[in-house]
Structure 1
Amino acid sequence: MNIISTIFGIVIFLNSILAIFTVFREKERDIAAIWAWLLVIIMLPGFGYIIYMFLGRKISKEKIFNIRSQERIGMEELVESQKELIESENLDVPESNYQDKTFELIQLFLNGNESVLTKGNKVKLIHDGKDKFNQLLDDISKAKDHIHVTYYIFRGDDIGTKLVKALEERAKQGVEVNVLYDPVGARVLGKHFFDTLRKYGGQAEPFFGSRFFLINLRLNYRNHRKIVVIDGKIGYTGGFNVGDDYLGLYEKMGYWRDTHLRIEGNGVKALQTRFLMDWNASAKKETIEYDNHYFPFTGLIGDTDMQIVSSGPDNEMHAIKKGFIKMISMAKESVYIQTPYFIPDEALIETLKIAIMSGIDVKLMIPNKPDHPFIYRATLSYASELVDYGAEVYIYDNGFLHSKTIVIDEEIVSVGTANFDIRSFKLNFEVNAFLYDRQLAKEQVKLYKKDITVSYLLTEEIINNYSKWELFKQQFSRLFSPIL
């Protein structure tokens, strides 16, 4: 027994030393993430290293350079088109139409993310999966020049098959079709799922890593973006992926409540630029060069001014997170947030607390069921903390809430792919639309209040009645929140 105890002690000691060496050798890692990974590796000797190998290693400098080096295709032309639009429509320069807080947010994205303010877009809020896919399939059927598609999750079920067949039909008619999918999110697709599309001249490529996710040593860095661009004139982005569950057809999850945008106007050009950059960072053979037909000029066709903002592990600016912090800090009356995962970092949780203590009406809505139990426990822990400070936290009770939105003062609204969690802010490749349109913001608030009618309030009584085991699971999950 003494020999076994000695050997065990030596193994634990060596494992701890190696854990410290392994984690600390990764430079520029967040201190909270360092402690979380140390905890994983020390608590799970051997197996912890396997988890770290797939989920913990940072992107190599070479890969970061490859992603960053992609030319911002069409960005100069987008800037010029906005200048022409301002002159042709006899408009003032964009910033002169905005005062105080809105102008500050616009400047933040312009300086930190090179996100151009585009004016006069026509934007539709979509909150039902059937409506989203019916509209999308109709738009695809009318495509004349090109269709560019990015989704994180892409299933080969009924809706996935229907979408690919629609793309095949357009490719067969000579329309350029390019599909970019995440190798982890699309891991269930058959090997030959896109063969017919390729046969008709379309292309499909995995983003950033091997299609065989079990040998992909960068599993932690996922392309969580959802982008569709049709003929450079119509764009989609938001929370819906491709799968029957997003139509509410999975009994376990029930009705799927999400939020997506259909965009017409010059804002589509920014989505196009984002897609082309991602494509060129991933394509093994054929990259895409700038061409006018990808960026058709569009005048004022609606009332929404907007910025498309992207973030990812290739950029330390964390622009979407900074945008959320700025929105919350400049709110005067209300902050309404919907998110399936609520795992804020220290800066965000403190910003929310300050808003609450300043008398701002802060509301948070999260799901009533987990699709990732570990993450959900951490979400409940952080949500309970906000309740302690006086926020209203609602538990959506009509299926599964996957909507990723924030609206302040019924003036500015953000809809996109980023959850309100550390993973979305630092590890995933994300894209959000920030919309400067009071009417659209009021519409989102109306939808939010409608969702409240099928939700229940997380009260102090509910929190106080959590069992000790439930509280332990929440606190234990929260320990790992920096790497969830």
Structure 2
Amino acid sequence: MIDGHTAFTGGVNLADEYINRIVKHGHWKDTAVMLQGEAARSFTLMFLQMWNLDEKTPDFSIVSEIPAAASPEAKGFVIPYGDCPVDADHVGEQVYIDILNRAQRYVHIMSPYLILDGELESALTFAAKRGVDVRLILPGIPDKSFPYALAFTHYPALLDAGVKIGEYTPGFVHAKVFVSDDAEAVVGTINLDYRSLYHHFECAAYLRDVPCIPQIQEDFEDTWSKCRMVTRESIRKGSFSRWLWGVVLKPLAPLM
């Protein structure tokens, strides 16, 4: 957040590998969006909620002291939101499931990790079974072997339902993006794994009918063109050790 008038959200952390200055896992693919106007004030409030988490008397005065920023003239709606592990509302997961359940033509997704609970896997497979083009971009070069192995255990059910899976061959995808039907998108910090959906403080921006959505879709298609497609045959020819690790680790998936 910058003075209450500009905010950024996405996957980009403060380290050299996030800008490909150093290379750890091939090319590091990431995404973020810049928000201006009232949406930035919402991110300021979310930051202060975290800052004041252990304070007996939380101080949110800075929000009222920030002058209201003139919103840029743009179509559509931007709704910033956060997700908190100390309440019962799994907002991040519910937004993703809602997009999948309402999609008519396509839902295109980028995520670094794929460790799904039953509800999210059902939403993905049900959308694909009713004819929605559901595509997932995942890393081709993993940063951690355990999540990579656990993702492998979801591949058969997703493929059988008609979900298309691509692994980014140049390196590691750290983007957290949903885009659907040329009309709505989510960009933020929320991965498709238990840690993001249940155990972490996370944030994102829901975008509806805003002018940048075609750019988000174009970026997805460009990234998709650099992926190797996962098929039943490629799974059969894949690494036995990866499959075995996934099976062994499956009971521990809610901790990852």
Q: TM-score, normalised by structure 2?
A: 0.93
Shift of 1:291: 5.1
Structure 1 or 2: more helix by fraction: 1
1:483 is matched with 255
**Cα RMSD (Å):** 1.9
Deviation string 1:364-392 (CA, Å, 9 cap, x unpaired) is: 00001221211111012213431122211
1:112 is matched with none
Unaligned 5+ runs, structure 2: none
* Map 1:13-24 → 2, pairs under 5 A: none
* 1:458 and 2:222 aligned: no
1:381 is matched with 153
Shift of 1:307: 0.7
Distance 1:331 1:438 in 2: 17
1:269 is matched with 41
Asked if 2 retains the 8 angstrom alpha-carbon contact of 1:396 and 1:455, the reply is yes
1:343/1:291 Cα in 2 relative to 1: closer, same or farther (>3 Å)?
closer
Of 124, 127, 144 in structure 2, the residue corresponding to residue 355 of structure 1 is: 127
* 1:298 and 2:97 aligned: no
1:295/1:350 Cα in 2 relative to 1: closer, same or farther (>3 Å)?
farther
* 1:324 and 2:96 aligned: yes
Alignment-mate amino acid for residue 349 of structure 1: E
* 1:434 and 2:206 aligned: yes
1:467/1:405 Cα in 2 relative to 1: closer, same or farther (>3 Å)?
closer
Deviation string 1:329-377 (CA, Å, 9 cap, x unpaired) is: 0000101010000111100101111111101111000001221211111
1:356/1:288 Cα in 2 relative to 1: closer, same or farther (>3 Å)?
closer
* Map 1:199-278 → 2, pairs under 5 A: 229-278=1-50
Asked if 2 retains the 8 angstrom alpha-carbon contact of 1:367 and 1:401, the reply is yes
Alignment-mate amino acid for residue 195 of structure 2: R
Runs of 4+ aligned structure 1 residues displaced above 6 Å come to 283-286
1:296/1:423 Cα in 2 relative to 1: closer, same or farther (>3 Å)?
same
1:324/1:346 Cα in 2 relative to 1: closer, same or farther (>3 Å)?
same
2:140 is matched with 368
Of 215, 220, 231 in structure 2, the residue corresponding to residue 448 of structure 1 is: 220
Unaligned 5+ runs, structure 1: 1-228
Greater RCO, 1 or 2 (C-alpha within 8 Å, sep 6+): 2
1:95 is matched with none
* 1:289 and 2:61 aligned: yes
Distance 1:301 1:276 in 2: 27
Asked if 1 retains the 8 angstrom alpha-carbon contact of 2:184 and 2:207, the reply is yes
* Map 1:170-181 → 2, pairs under 5 A: none
1:208 is matched with none
Deviation string 1:176-231 (CA, Å, 9 cap, x unpaired) is: xxxxxxxxxxxxxxxxxxxxxxxxxxxxxxxxxxxxxxxxxxxxxxxxxxxxx111
More displaced stretch, 302-311 vs 360-369: 302-311
The DSSP-based 3-state class of the residue aligned with 1:281 is coil
Asked if 1 retains the 8 angstrom alpha-carbon contact of 2:137 and 2:166, the reply is yes
Distance 1:286 1:481 in 2: 35
Alignment-mate amino acid for residue 255 of structure 1: H
Shift of 1:429: 0.3
Shift of 1:249: 2.6
1:291/1:306 Cα in 2 relative to 1: closer, same or farther (>3 Å)?
closer
* Map 1:22-421 → 2, pairs under 5 A: 229-282=1-54, 287-290=59-62, 292-421=64-193
Tell me the number of residue pairs that the alignment of Structure 1 and Structure 2 aligns. 256
Alignment-mate amino acid for residue 220 of structure 2: Y
Shift of 1:285: 10
1:326/1:234 Cα in 2 relative to 1: closer, same or farther (>3 Å)?
same
Asked if 2 retains the 8 angstrom alpha-carbon contact of 1:312 and 1:425, the reply is no
Distance 1:301 1:403 in 2: 27
Q: TM-score, normalised by structure 1?
A: 0.51
Shift of 1:267: 0.7
1:370/1:329 Cα in 2 relative to 1: closer, same or farther (>3 Å)?
same
1:424/1:359 Cα in 2 relative to 1: closer, same or farther (>3 Å)?
same
Alignment-mate amino acid for residue 43 of structure 2: L
Distance 2:242 2:91 in 1: 35
Asked if 2 retains the 8 angstrom alpha-carbon contact of 1:238 and 1:417, the reply is yes
